[in-house]
Amino acid sequence: MFLRSFPLLCLLAFASFFTACTDDTDTNLNPAPSQPGTLDVEIDHVAGTEPLAFNTTYTTAAGDKFTVSRFKYYLSNFTLGKTDGSSYLVPESYFLVDEADPESKFFTLADIPSGDYTSLSFTIGVDSTRNVSGAQTGALDPINNMFWTWDSGYIFTKLEGTSPQAPNQALVFHIGGFKKPNNTIRSVSPTLRGVTIPIRKDRNPAVHLKADVLRLFTGPNTIRFATTPNVMGGADAVKIADNQRAGFFTVDHVHTN
Amino acid sequence: MWPRLFQLTALALAGNLWLAACGQAETATPVAEVPGVTVPGNFPAPVYAAEANPPTLPAFELGRALFYDPQLSRTKDVSCGSCHQQFAAFAHADHRVSHGVDNRLGTRNAPPLQNLRWRRDLLWDGGAKHLETMPLAPLTNPVEMDETLENVLRTLNADAKYVQQFAQVYGKKPIDSQQFLKALAQFTAALTSSNSRYDHYARGEAGGTLSAAEVRGLTLLRQKCSACHGTDLFTDESYRNNGLAGGFALDSGRAHITRQARDRGRFKVPSLRNVARTAPYMHDGRFETLTQVLAHYDHGVTESATLDPLLRQPDGRLGIPLTSAEQADLLAFLATLTDEQFLHDPRLSEKPR
């Protein structure tokens, strides 16, 4: 009897191992999806009407000329909303997007409960909790050089380059900080232009986002390189973060296939 | 008979796996040999709880090896232990400021490393907000170890013994930054000083006797110092301007982090534990003796916009008036905070790899 039931007992023991952990990580806000689907996110980097390329000269709305040699940023906490007001936060959705790494501009949000979603929101940056949660892996690994060591926390957006208007030609914009009054975490919900995203097991929808580097320097706050060529957190970072919230990201189009 | 025993064993193993996987560390008994696992009876609950990085002997020993390893610096000759010496409660004895790679000097006195589990944030300005990521500051600081995290991992992964030790602890290769930082935190979190004569006194244990002068000193400390140096950790973890002369042009302290004018000249209130062994004192190491420190509070406090209100007397005088008899009693008490067991614990010392 014991011998015969032994495999069953083992199975039960391991089954409890899995269910217990599922209970720990899921919350009522995110009920286990029955037939989950995916959403692809693809991001194009542009400077106004032109595609972004390193070491190419662009002009800001205010007339400053500049080139870009490094451009990377964090996106996190992707949330899909429905017309009834309910929403689904994709767990562990942390992505480091890097102009130098084309693969980083395409990623998939997986295990989304099936349904018709009419909004997409996400955070430019990293939520405050993860800024103070100790050693992280993956996108949040400090090896990615997006972590301040002397004032610990993530650099949310990094743009470096040159400008003839800058006093020493160099541009360094490190946008980060998660504490008042210099909190630069910004959540955005770029309009889907009336398109509904159908999340189904057998479908493959995709959102194409456009990130415009010119919009870092224009919007609620005009950034001039003669006076503001070097930002590492602080009040000027807040100004750029406010510009990011206002128009850095747009949805170019949505594939509902 | 044995098949039944075997079943029970298998079930128990599966159960252990279940517990470990779900992170219910309170049910997993930490290995007794790791120092600093037990929360001392006179301490509050730790900020960095054991469950965050459950202490095990192999991981602790790994952290210990890393702490004393000069390979982590760019020039391969400066380790954490170079500027944090055990006999000085892991401060840097006789160094106003420490010398990093190429003998470069910084602007700040290396603080003692003790009871870090109870710290909300670290460094004189509180810039490091988590024990695990704190070492990234000295590792990458150009005047300290001047190395990149990338190079540190390259060095570790080129060391067969580390690769084997890390794989044993974390079960995967190569060594990544999370493994490295968690291992280091196993050691730094273990640096618990809680067995001074004062501690035995506070907990009513054998050996906990204080002399009349020491008791007078304790009473004085509670009257005049504990608004900042409070609790049995002897710090309230706040940032304050204690009236050091000379302004803050060289080092704005907490304002370096918050960028707020009101934080200019404010520095972390240090613990008084082992204070008799952690000379020199203050964020810049300007005072060589505790006598000088007490003299500063008695008559050396300097006016500035952000001077701590507790250092303004109702009559307009600055500082904390202390008679010479009171200073002698305070010095007597402060010596009871020396924890010889911690300063000489062989488990915390450098050992050949």
Tell me whether residues B128 and A235 touch, CB distance under 8 A: no
Closest chain B CA to residue A138:
B178
Nearest alpha carbon to residue A130 among A184, A87, A94: A94
Chain A residue with minimum CA distance to B149: A143
Q: What is the pLDDT of residues B33-75, one digit of tens each?
A: 899 989 999 999 999 999 989 999 999 999 999 999 999 999 9
* A30: confidence class by pLDDT, cuts 50, 70, 90: low
Contact B148, B304 (CB under 8 A): no
Substitution target in A3, A10, A152, A238 with the highest count of B β-carbons within 10 Å is A152
Contact A9 B18 (CB under 8 A): no
Q: Would you say the ipTM is above 0.90?
A: no
Q: What pLDDT is stored for residue A29 in this prediction? A: 54
Measured CA distances, B149 to A71, A144, B141, B143, B176 (Å): 21, 9, 11, 16, 10
* Amino acid A150: pLDDT: 92
**Using an 8 Å Cβ cutoff, are A250 and A213 in contact?**
no
pLDDT tens, A39-70? Answer: 999 999 999 999 999 999 999 999 999 999 99
Instruction: Give me the DSSP letters along B250-315.
Output: S--BTHHHH--GGGTTBEE----TTGGGS-SBSTT--B-SHHHHHHIIIII----TTB-GGGB-TT
Contacting A with CB below 8 Å, chain B residues are: 3-4, 6-7, 10-11, 14-15, 17-18, 21-23, 52-53, 127-134, 136-137, 139-141, 149-150, 153, 176-178, 180-182, 185, 256-259
Residues in chain A with CB shorter than 8 Å from the CB of B153 are: 143
pTM: 0.86
B-interface mutation test, from A25, A144, A149, A155, most B Cβ less than 10 A away: A149
Residue B33: predicted pLDDT: 80
C-beta pairs of A6-10 under 8 Å, 24+ apart in sequence: A6/B3, A6/B6, A6/B7, A6/B10, A9/B7, A9/B10, A9/B11, A10/B10, A10/B11, A10/B14
Whether A9 and chain B come into contact, CB under 8 Å, resolves to: yes
3-state helix, strand, coil in chain A (%, to 5): 20, 40, 40
Q: Report the distance separating Cα B331 and Cα B294, nearest Å.
A: 9
Tens of pLDDT along A204-217? Answer: 999 999 999 999 99
Closest to A111 in 3D by CA, of A76, A75, A78, A74 = A78
Dist CA B244 CA B280 (whole Å): 14
Q: Which amino acid is at B278?
A: T
The pLDDT, as a whole number, for residue B352 is: 81
Reply yes or no on whether the pLDDT at B8 is more than 90. Answer: no
Contact between B251 and B320 under an 8 Å Cβ cutoff? The reply is: no
Q: Which amino acid is at A154?
A: Y
- Identify the three-state secondary structure at position A115: strand
Q: Tens of pLDDT along B160-215?
A: 999 999 999 999 999 999 999 999 999 999 999 999 999 999 999 999 999 999 99
**Residue with token string 């580390």:** B162
**Res B249 pLDDT > 90:** yes
Chain centroid offset of residue A186 CA = 10
Element of type H or E holding A40: strand A37-47
**B293-332: pLDDT as tens digits:** 999 999 999 999 999 999 999 999 999 999 999 999 999 9
Residue type, B307: L
Residues of A in contact with B150 (CB under 8 A): 143
Tell me the C-alpha distance between B16 and B332, whole Å. 51
Nearest to A21 among B14, B21, B137 (CB): B21
CB contact under 8 A, A182 and B17: no
User: How far does chain B reach from its first CA to its final CA, in angstroms?
Assistant: 46
Is there a contact between A43 and A212 (Cβ–Cβ < 8 Å)? no
Supply B50's token pair. 């054991």
Judging contacts by C-beta atoms under 8 Å, the chain B residues touching residue A6 are 3, 6-7, 10
Give the pLDDT confidence of B217-239 residue by residue, as tens digits: 999 999 999 999 999 999 999 99
Peptide bond into B280 cis (omega under 30): yes
| Nearest alpha carbon to residue A136 among A121, A150, A154 | A154
The verdict on a CB contact (< 8 Å) between B177 and A141 is yes
Where are the strands (E) in chain B, listed by range? Answer: 239-240, 267-268
**Closest Cα in chain B to A133:** B130
Computed over every residue of chain B, the mean pLDDT equals: 91
* CB-based contact A136 B178, cutoff 8 Å: yes
- Least CB-CB distance to B10: which of A3, A10, A137? A10
> Mean of the pLDDT values across residues A123-135?
96
Give B94's pLDDT tier (boundaries 50, 70, 90): confident
Question: Residue B243's closest CA among B291, B288, B305, B285?
Answer: B305
Provide the shortest C-alpha distance from residue B232 to chain A (in Å): 26
Cα separation, A195 vs B270, whole angstroms? 58
pLDDT at position B78, please? 94
**Quick check: helix, strand or coil at residue A245?**
helix
Q: Is A136 within 8 Å of chain B by CB?
A: yes
Pick the residue of B4, B18, B51, B53 with the most A CBs within 10 A to test the interface with A by mutation. B18
* Cross-chain residue pair A131–B129, CB shorter than 8 Å: yes
CA dist B78 and B103 (Å) reads 10
Residue B213 backbone phi and psi in degrees, to 5: -65, -40
For residue A149, the chain B residues in CB contact (below 8 A) are 128, 133, 136-137, 139-141
Smallest CA-to-CA distance from A156 within A210, A211, A89 is with A211
Q: What is the pLDDT of residues A179-233, one digit of tens each?
A: 999 999 999 999 999 999 999 999 999 999 999 999 999 999 999 999 999 999 9
* Beta carbons within 8 Å of A103's beta carbon, 6+ residues apart: none
Q: Is A13's pLDDT higher than 70?
A: no
